[in-house]
Amino acid sequence: QITLKESGPTLVKPTQTLTLTCTFSGFSLSTSGVGVGWVRQPPGKALEWLAGIYWDDDKRYSPSLKSRLTITKDTSKNQVVLTMTNMDPVDTATYYCAHSVNGNSPISTYWGQGTLVTVSS
């Protein structure tokens, strides 16, 4: 059974750096074709893909956010970490991590429940 869970702060101040951790079970990020990605959703709005990291340590970022994002993995701990710098109120959103297959053309098969991050002073 594949499960993912996001963790991190619920409130960050403008200009701060957000660090989110995705802890997963039921699969290995060493398996060929497997990845973990991050997707966010502002309240009442659409989904936005942010970043993905794959079994071969390939990392991909949304071009519009690339300068602010870093994604890393710890295969031994079954964790993926996303950092986003210089947070702004427009970054207020629910952040999801998701298991994917098909390498760096990811099909997001299983999703965490998401964590709501509010950016406010």
Q: What tokens appear for 50 in the block?
A: 């942010």
Q: What tokens appear for 7 in the block?
A: 């963790």
The stretch among 24-32, 70-78, 79-87, 94-102 that binds other proteins (CB under 8 A) is: 94-102
Q: How far is the CB of 9 from other proteins (least distance, A)?
A: 20
Which residues, in sequence order, are bridge partners of residue 81? 21, 72
Rounded to an integer, what distance in angstroms lies between the CA atom of residue 86 and that of residue 73? 22
Size of the site for other proteins (CB under 8 A): 25
Residue bearing tokens 């957000």: 18
**96 is a contact residue toward other proteins (CB under 8 A):** yes
The answer for residues whose C-beta is within 8 angstroms of residue 76's C-beta and 6 or more apart is none
Q: Enumerate residues 18-37 that contact other proteins by CB under 8 A.
A: 37
**56 is a contact residue toward other proteins (CB under 8 A):** no
Q: Which residues bind to other proteins, rule: CB under 8 A?
A: 37, 39, 46-49, 52, 60-64, 96, 98, 102, 104-109, 111-114
